[in-house]
Amino acid sequence: MHELHGVPIADTFAEAFPMSGARLIITADSLRWARTAAAEFSGYATSVIACDCEAALERELSPAETPDGRPGVSVLAFAFNREALAAAVVGRAGQCILTCPTTACYNGIDDCPKEKRIPLGEQLRFFGDGWQTSKRLGDRRMWRIPVMDGEFLCDHKLGTATGVAGGNLLFCGRDGASTLAAAEAAADAMRAIPDVILPFPGGLVRAGSKVGSKYKTLKASTNDAYCPTLRPLVESELPEGCGAVYEIVIDGLSFDAVQAAMRAGLHAACASGGLLLVTAGNYGGKLGKHHLHLKDLLAAV
């Protein structure tokens, strides 16, 4: 057992998995509408256990950082493979970005081989019903799709990267309020790290899961070892006096990005007070090839 700011840190690791990831740059006439499109795009995208992808807002972008000089945001999306990612991204972009007032959508991963790119405008263009037009900006192919407030501009394809999904931390605290405050501090610190997202609501998970269930139709079920109300009935992993647990799951475009986010979150949470233990979820190292050891996160941010 290790220790950080007086909080015990379990000598364990988070087990993460390779995933295909894409970055979408969404711009609009105002940051309000760019954020609205990102929020709608990312709806119901918390876990590939039951969702078509994992997606969330990465960060806000100034006009100087966007392709068209307008306010914008970046969104990261992850799925098990490029085919699944393409289906999820095109469907969500068509329903949630194309339809949102004043938006445009651009590729956010440029250094990607052609064979690893997935469709965006290549599919969305058909909504133009023959009135769509193609445009080239250097070696960049764009589509202009007529809509009722003007036109929707988007890239022909999106670059992808082999990312890392499923980095995680479990914060065990004395009570709900103090544990939530620690987890919120961790989430805020993690969001300052580039190339990562926290796909669950507000970045936090109250309903952590384990693989499998007593019900054959379920792939995952409640993580009973970390449920305070079940402590007398199961083989509990909770420290004495623990009244609440919150988990944060991290997806990123690289192992280093996920590790950096976990480090920032761990230090912020432990400095907030109220925690009895920080640990992580894994499957004995048998399922995910990326092992993020908590002891490697103890060095100062």
* Domain ranges for the chain: 2-15+163-297, 20-161
The yes-or-no verdict on residue 301 having pLDDT over 90 is no
The yes-or-no verdict on residue 287 having pLDDT over 80 is no
| Res 262: pLDDT | 98
The Cα–Cα gap between 272 and 4 comes to 11
Q: What is the CATH number of domain 20-161?
A: 3.30.70.520
**pTM value?**
0.95
Average pLDDT, the chain: 96
Share above pLDDT 90 across residues of the chain, in percent, rounded to a whole number: 92
Do 2-15+163-297 and 20-161 share a fold? yes
Which residues are bridge partners to 2 per DSSP?
Answer: 9
Which tens digits make up the pLDDT trace of 90-142?
Answer: 999 999 999 999 999 999 999 999 999 999 999 999 999 999 999 898 788 99
Which tens digits make up the pLDDT trace of 225-269?
Answer: 999 999 999 999 999 999 999 999 999 999 999 999 999 999 999
Average pLDDT of the segment spanning 147-158: 98
Which tens digits make up the pLDDT trace of 91-104?
Answer: 999 999 999 999 99
- Which class in CATH covers the domain with range 2-15+163-297? alpha beta
| Res 137: pLDDT | 82
| Res 86: pLDDT | 98
